[in-house]
Amino acid sequence: MPQITAVTVEDVRFPTSLTADGSDAMNKDGDYSATYVVLHTDGADTVGAPLGGYGLTFTIGRGNDIVAAAALHQARRLVGQDIDAMAADMGAVYRLLTSDSQLRWLGPEKGVVHLSLAAVLNASWDLVARRAGKPLWQLLVDMSPEQLVDIADLRYLSDALTRAEALEILHAKRDTKAARVAELAATGYPAYTTSAGWLGYDDDKLRRLCQEAVDTGYGYVKLKVGADLDDDIRRCSIAREVIGPDRKLMIDANQVWDVGQAVEWVRALARFEPLWIEEPTSPDDILGHAAIRRAVAPVGVATGEHCHNRVMFKQLFQADAIDFCQLDTGRLASVNEIVAVLLLAAKYDVPVCPHAGGVGLCEMVQHVSILDYVAVSGDLTNRVTEFVDHLHEHFTDPCVVRDTGSGSGYVLPTAPGYSTRMHPGSVEQYRFPDGDYWASGAGAQTAPALVSGH
Amino acid sequence: MPQITAVTVEDVRFPTSLTADGSDAMNKDGDYSATYVVLHTDGADTVGAPLGGYGLTFTIGRGNDIVAAAALHQARRLVGQDIDAMAADMGAVYRLLTSDSQLRWLGPEKGVVHLSLAAVLNASWDLVARRAGKPLWQLLVDMSPEQLVDIADLRYLSDALTRAEALEILHAKRDTKAARVAELAATGYPAYTTSAGWLGYDDDKLRRLCQEAVDTGYGYVKLKVGADLDDDIRRCSIAREVIGPDRKLMIDANQVWDVGQAVEWVRALARFEPLWIEEPTSPDDILGHAAIRRAVAPVGVATGEHCHNRVMFKQLFQADAIDFCQLDTGRLASVNEIVAVLLLAAKYDVPVCPHAGGVGLCEMVQHVSILDYVAVSGDLTNRVTEFVDHLHEHFTDPCVVRDTGSGSGYVLPTAPGYSTRMHPGSVEQYRFPDGDYWASGAGAQTAPALVSGH
């Protein structure tokens, strides 16, 4: 039986700060980065190639080394594990990786140790999907309701969602899964684009990119806001003018406001009829989001990319704080925690519109959105998944978004795994600080190496 | 003008797991550890000795290396800083250390990067207090209301506490500070002990330590609970029998329960009349704490040692979720964030009873509690600060708790600084993994070194 024989963790950074890709009111100069975990095995995949597991979490540069160090702490627990035994009980793998109470203290279930846990578990899920020869969404969709609930972490959720309720949600969708898979195979999963609206782009570039989004079949466009109200009014005017009255406009403040300020600012932009305001304030402020939501309706409130675990999502739902759940596949503890959040969202009838972009997030979220529609929510109403068109060239099985005739959508992945295997050449080039790109000195000012303080 | 010339960060671990000191229902085998930051300068203190800043955060073993790596990232920003300029604007020091949006992504304001920030800022506050020749509490008590508000981080709090309200709270106490300092000089700040009640202690040891607590003048004793209800009933019976009906008994579950389970369990222990149930569930579950509090009254609800920032405390207050605020000086971002929480607590009239124990937490909390009484709350009602009697021998200015005639209390510190300078010999002996203790192999099984996964 094949086993995990070794693990490697790489600190991979792309110099996105040079082009203002990804710039917003809080994060002006991110270097999109991946803590990249590889689980090496002595086995072969279904076509006889060496079997490995490839997973990541996303950061924006400095500190990616810290996440990598934490991931190595966690991943080495997997060395010697039997892969088929893992596949048979991924709940146990989750518990193994979260059982270290000394590491737990550093969160718990948040920050660096949770990001790194996501990377290690993402690699584990990629591994078992590759072993099964299925794309991850298919592996999950093929599970019974009982199997899905068994891998979900429902701890601390029972006041909002019991195991029986979770099973009920899944059983209600069980017999119609095949029809929804067939539907998505025809249409793709609905996508929207953020590529147009980074804060560092000038008006001409904004106008051009909005037009491109329209031409490519997008029904949704998202803009970054929150640095300057006059600028935001001008940029929203441009975007609304280009996309017309029928397509949806979303705005994203990346946590820059206090609660009262958020209410004022969003009201000042309400005439552009945004579908949602994203991250209006601190991601920890559940009651603040609820207050903002009450004050800015009918503009919806969205958050989740920095929502650090299922307990926070539970409360966002309990407090009626959000209209859209933007869970993040690099921040939650992989499928085990994501399934719990999908079930909570279904119970509270909040649409899940996952956060993506970054590095590899689009590759992952397509699997999550497909799982959500096919097996959990059974609903596409108000659902649309983020897509940002950069850095996909570094993946061996990049996601594909195209206009299927009913708007742009993610095409169902067919390759085995979680779609997050990187080209070895990309890792070699952008590994920090010794990859060819960084060693050449090109990015020295962008992301200084950690040096001893002496 | 003296400057910071270099920084060092040490990973110091004490093998407390060998004796079950610190054992509870969630953390069975912690090795109490410090990420220890030293700010070296080219200056002298007020008595002509070399001037340095010494600060720490507390962890329980594995992963302390990760926190240390993060602290080094942050601390190196201080190299070259003028110490008198720092002292004149510690709000600016806070903003400097929190201004890195790439590191912010790893929290934000939580987990490893927030723990490490606490260590670096604690060292900075220690440094400026040593430079002034004052214990930290004195430095803070001597500040004007405006100065205190200027160093506090009030971001994301304005819906609960405005700057004007903060000033009003402080101005109301300003003219009577000296009287409260004199009072505490006579009585000490009220303390309670957790040394008696660790979960790993047997009944005889529990009984003996409870009796010692009574004999030493403690009016409060705290027990760990949550592993087994029958055990808890037996242990609470013993404790209540020894301490009698008039002294206070507290119980602490260290996050092991779901909300409904917490309510049932606490009700089953209610006949022992606990003053509070501490950490009944996930520290992130604000609404869960509120639900538990409503269900178990008159037993109070306490939490805070894992409450990761001021935004979470704000909501605990807004939701009427807790009766006691147990802020942690290693988890919050030092004085700058602690003052914000003290002000919030004063506004919402929730007593602050800081978490302590661990390594160095008792040394720090005494300064915070004194500040709270003298300058912020002006009230001792229902206030009592944790004390655990171990590991103090590693500090050059250890806290002192003694029976002052009106119960056990923390004696006002008189040495300059934040009381967290460690003996160089202790650092040498317990530095991980190369200190004498760990290098000898004595603790090899307790805290394995991080090795490459290859």
Residues of B labelled as active-site residues:
224, 355
Per-residue tokens: A174: 């069980």
Arithmetic mean of pLDDT over chain B:
94
pLDDT bracket for residue A454 (50, 70, 90): very low
Q: What span, in angstroms and rounded, lies between the C-alpha atoms of A225 and B106? A: 22
Question: Which ranges of A56-162 does DSSP label H, i.e. alpha helix?
Answer: 64-75, 83-88, 90-97, 101-104, 111-132, 136-141, 145-151
Residues B332 and B186 placed together within one structural domain of the fold: yes
Q: Is the pLDDT of residue B448 over 70?
A: no
Residues B241 and B291 placed together within one structural domain of the fold: yes
Residues A197 and A110 placed together within one structural domain of the fold: no
Shortest CA gap A392–chain B (Å): 21
pLDDT bracket for residue A448 (50, 70, 90): very low
Arithmetic mean of pLDDT over chain A:
94
Q: Is residue A146 part of a domain?
A: no
The whole-number average pLDDT for the span B398-402 is 96
Shortest CA gap A283–chain B (Å): 8
Q: Tell me if A62 and B73 make a contact (CB, 8 A cut-off).
A: yes
pLDDT bracket for residue B196 (50, 70, 90): confident
Q: What is the CATH number of the domain that holds B98?
A: 3.30.390.10
Q: Is residue A138 part of a domain?
A: no
Question: Which of B41, B66, B117 to mutate against chain A (most A CBs within 10 Å)?
Answer: B66
Q: Is residue B157 part of a domain?
A: no
The whole-number average pLDDT for the span A341-348 is 98
Nearest CA in chain B to A285: B311
Task: Give pLDDT, residue B24.
Answer: 77
Radius of gyration of chain B (CA): 21
Q: Is the pLDDT of residue B302 over 90?
A: yes
Backbone angles phi, psi at B425, to 5 degrees: -65, -35
Residues A30 and A98 placed together within one structural domain of the fold: yes
Q: Among A201-205, A347-351, B286-290, B411-415, which stretch is predicted with the lowest mean pLDDT?
A: A201-205
Shortest CA gap B96–chain A (Å): 15
Task: Give pLDDT, residue B197.
Answer: 73
According to DSSP, the residues that pair with B54 across neighbouring strands are B38
Residues A268 and A125 placed together within one structural domain of the fold: no
The whole-number average pLDDT for the span A204-222 is 91
| Cis amide leading into B424 (omega within 30) | no
**Percent of the residues in chain A that have a pLDDT greater than 90, as a whole number:** 86
Residues A129 and A255 placed together within one structural domain of the fold: no
Q: Is residue B449 part of a domain?
A: no
pTM: 0.96
| B4-32 tens-digit pLDDT | 999 999 999 999 888 767 777 777 788 99
Nearest to A223 by CA among A208, A244, A243, A206: A206
Task: Give pLDDT, residue B60.
Answer: 96
Per-residue tokens: A444: 């020295």
The whole-number average pLDDT for the span B91-109 is 96
Is pLDDT larger for residue B389 or for residue B230?
A: B230
Nearest to B357 by CA among B1, B82, B34: B34
Cα B213–chain centre separation: 21
Q: Is the pLDDT of residue B292 over 80?
A: yes
Most confidently modeled of A357-361, A386-390, A437-441? A357-361
Q: Is residue B240 part of a domain?
A: yes
* Exposed/middle/buried for residue B274 (C-beta within 10 Å: 0-12, 13-18, 19+): buried
Task: Give pLDDT, residue A446.
Answer: 46
Residues B67 and B181 placed together within one structural domain of the fold: no
The whole-number average pLDDT for the span B392-404 is 95
Q: What span, in angstroms and rounded, lies between the C-alpha atoms of A186 and A201? A: 35
CA distance readout (Å), A142 to A136, A147, A265: 10, 10, 46
Shortest CA gap B184–chain A (Å): 33
Q: Is the pLDDT of residue B449 over 70?
A: no
Task: Show the domain range for B356.
Answer: 170-410
Task: Give pLDDT, residue A452.
Answer: 34
Q: Tell me if B59 and A102 make a contact (CB, 8 A cut-off).
A: yes
pLDDT bracket for residue B444 (50, 70, 90): low
Q: Tell me if B159 and A288 make a contact (CB, 8 A cut-off).
A: yes
Task: Give pLDDT, residue A405.
Answer: 79
Residues B127 and B191 placed together within one structural domain of the fold: no
Q: Among A124-138, A252-266, A396-410, B135-149, which stretch is predicted with the lowest mean pLDDT?
A: A396-410
Task: Give pLDDT, residue A444.
Answer: 52
Strands A189-197 and A220-224: parallel
| A133-156 tens-digit pLDDT | 999 999 999 999 999 999 999 999
- B75-84 b/e with 16+ CB inside 10 Å = b? bbbbeebebe
Is pLDDT larger for residue B45 or for residue A109?
A: A109
pLDDT bracket for residue A443 (50, 70, 90): low
- Sign, CA dihedral A427-A433-A439-A441, equals positive
Residues B75 and B201 placed together within one structural domain of the fold: no
pLDDT bracket for residue B446 (50, 70, 90): very low
Q: Which amino acid is at A384?
A: V
Q: Tell me if A450 and B72 make a contact (CB, 8 A cut-off).
A: yes
According to DSSP, the residues that pair with A276 across neighbouring strands are A300
Would you say B409 and B188 are in contact if contact means Cβ atoms under 8 Å apart?
yes
Task: Give pLDDT, residue A286.
Answer: 98
Task: Give pLDDT, residue B443.
Answer: 65
Domain count, chain B: 2
Residues B428 and B401 placed together within one structural domain of the fold: no
pLDDT bracket for residue A447 (50, 70, 90): very low
Out of B60, B100, B108, whose CB is closest to A105?
A: B60
SS3 for B57?
strand
Out of B73, B104, B312, whose CB is closest to A284?
A: B312
Q: Is residue A449 part of a domain?
A: no
Task: Give pLDDT, residue A258.
Answer: 98
Nearest CA in chain B to A17: B102
Residues B125 and B185 placed together within one structural domain of the fold: no
Q: What is the CATH number of the domain that holds A377?
A: 3.20.20.120
Residues A372 and A428 placed together within one structural domain of the fold: no
Q: Is the pLDDT of residue B451 over 70?
A: no
Task: Give pLDDT, residue B236.
Answer: 96
Q: Tell me if A106 and B111 make a contact (CB, 8 A cut-off).
A: yes
Q: Tell me if B287 and A101 make a contact (CB, 8 A cut-off).
A: no
